[in-house]
Structure 1
Amino acid sequence: MDKASDFSDKLRYQFRQLDGIYQRIVIDTASGISSAVFSQLVQTDEILLVTIPEPSAIADAYAIVKIMTYFYPKHPISLIVNMANSEAEAKETFEKFNLITQKFLQRSLKLAGFLLFDEKVRQSTKTQTPYVLSNSNSPFGKNLQQIADKIFTASSTASDLWEERIN
């Protein structure tokens, strides 16, 4: 058994243990597309793909959408634009990205939300303190809450596939 397959089996087992305990599980994967990342993505109800308004990050995000579309064309994918300088930049990034996926992959994405750049996020990472505990009313904190509300209130179109994926 190769490492990717072994990892996938272990992950599937762990998901089975959590089934019914949690409403949603958020998995933060590495950037780019590797066999380990791919094996995690295919076991989800929905992919929340995070990118930033920079060409290399957008290229990585596009690669993930392209591979997922090839192997799993109906797997729901939504985009979160992180570190945007403004709401307008976030929406423009999404619109351009979505136009590219529609044109070349015949795939439309949803905008799950956006997060405005905030230097305090970087500081909280360095100090290992949760950002939202002291900044929940900041623009970033409010955007994060909007995304969380959307994730936890939306019913996934692929939820019926969850049981099939973990068994």
Structure 2
Amino acid sequence: MKDQAENLRRRLEARHNQSMARTIAVLSGKGGVGKSNFSLNFSIALSQRGKKVLLFDMDIGMGNIDILIGEHSPYSIIDFFENDCSLKDIITAGPGNISIINGGTGLTNLFSLDEDKYTRFNEELSLLLANYDYILFDMGAGITQDSMKFMLCVDELVVITTPEPTSIMDAYSAMKFINSVNKEVPLFLVCNRVFTSKDGKEAIKRLQNALVKFLGLETVALGYLPNDGIVSKSVTKQMPFILFDSEADVSKAIMDIASRYANHSFGGELTLQRSHFLRNMKRYFLGK
């Protein structure tokens, strides 16, 4: 018993002394804006900057990260909850030296965890947080009351929109919903599929102005991605566009976004706080 206690103490001390991964949820108001493609290529862009990155497909039952990379994993988050696999066991190696946990199919109540399942999930996530620099959660399209709880746990939220008015309104509605529950979580904006840099800047500025005017909500613009034909070609080839053609305009743009994020190049807009992901998990899932 003494040896076990000593080992536990050392593990806790090691975890305390290690820096915790930044947790990022990527979301959109509705589907069809390229959210998963952004999550995948953004993860690889961060990895190419020397960071250890885990991409977690949280679009349970509708996940498509494995389709985008053309590799079907034998394991998914379903195996963690239903087959008692550990999170470490279900991690697979992805392209660009990233790690991936797939969403799988058939599980609809991931966010409605009982205390036992929550405790196990929390304990294993805490180990992963010590082993990565970034953990990205590719959320399902839209927001539900249950998925909202999870999004409120992460350190930052990245919202994907396009210049289309309906997409901007969907993104606005999603952030309004988030802000009504938690006014402190940092929000980043990325505009996808822009035809000109002017379109991208104007779309983001319109959205930011509306958020400030009606909600008093400040957000950070990470950048925009051009409507590049390379993207559809890479999807057909089931290869991330940043690896399919690293010199393409969209690939350079995602690298710029990753650089801006990783370097905290936000000017005076935002100061990133220490991660409280595990504490938030306990608060929002157990009410403690």
Q: TM-score range by the shorter chain?
A: 0.7 to 0.9
Query: TM-score by structure 1 length?
Result: 0.87
Q: CA RMSD in A?
A: 2.4
SS at 2:134 equivalent: coil
Give, in whole Å, the separation in 2 of the partners of 1:29 and 1:38: 10
Q: How does 1:28-47 map to 2 (within 5 A)?
A: 28-47=138-157
1:57 aligns with 2:164: no
* Residue 236 of structure 2 corresponds to residue 129 of structure 1: no
Equivalenced residues, count:
166
Counterpart of 2:113, as a letter, is: D
2:204 is aligned to 94
Match for residue 276 of structure 2? 161
Change (3 A) 1:140 1:28: same
Residues 165 and 84 from structure 1, CA distance in 2 versus in 1: closer, same or farther, beyond 3 angstroms?
A: same
Counterpart check, 1:150 vs 2:239: no
**Which deviates more from structure 2 when the two are superposed, residues 133-142 or residues 100-109?**
133-142
Could you say if the C-alpha distance between residues 32 and 13 of structure 1 is closer, same or farther in structure 2, counting changes exceeding 3 Å?
Answer: farther
Q: Distance in 2 between matches of 1:38 and 1:13?
A: 21
Q: Deviations over 1:87-134 (max 9, x none)?
A: 111100011000100011100111011101112212211221121123
Residue identity matched to 2:255: Q
Q: Given residue 151 of structure 1, which amino acid in structure 2 is its aligned partner?
A: Y
Matched residue, 2:25: none
Range with greater deviation from structure 2 (129-138 or 105-114): 129-138
- Which is richer in helix? 1
What's 1:76 paired with? 186
The 2-side partners of 1:83 and 1:14 are apart by 37
- TM-score normalised to structure 2 length: 0.53
**Bigger CA drift: 136-145 or 27-36?**
27-36
Structure 2: 5+ residue runs without aligned partners?
A: 1-107, 266-270, 283-288
Percent identity, aligned pairs only, is: 23
Per the alignment, residue 112 of structure 2 pairs with 5
Task: Name the CA distance, whole Å, in 1 between partners of 2:256 and 2:181.
Answer: 31
Runs of 4+ in 1 over 4 A off after TM superposition: 10-14
Deviations along 1:72-100, whole A, 9 cap, x unmatched?
Answer: 10110010001111111110001100010
Q: In 2 relative to 1, CA 97–134 (structure 1 residues): closer, same or farther, beyond 3 Å?
A: same
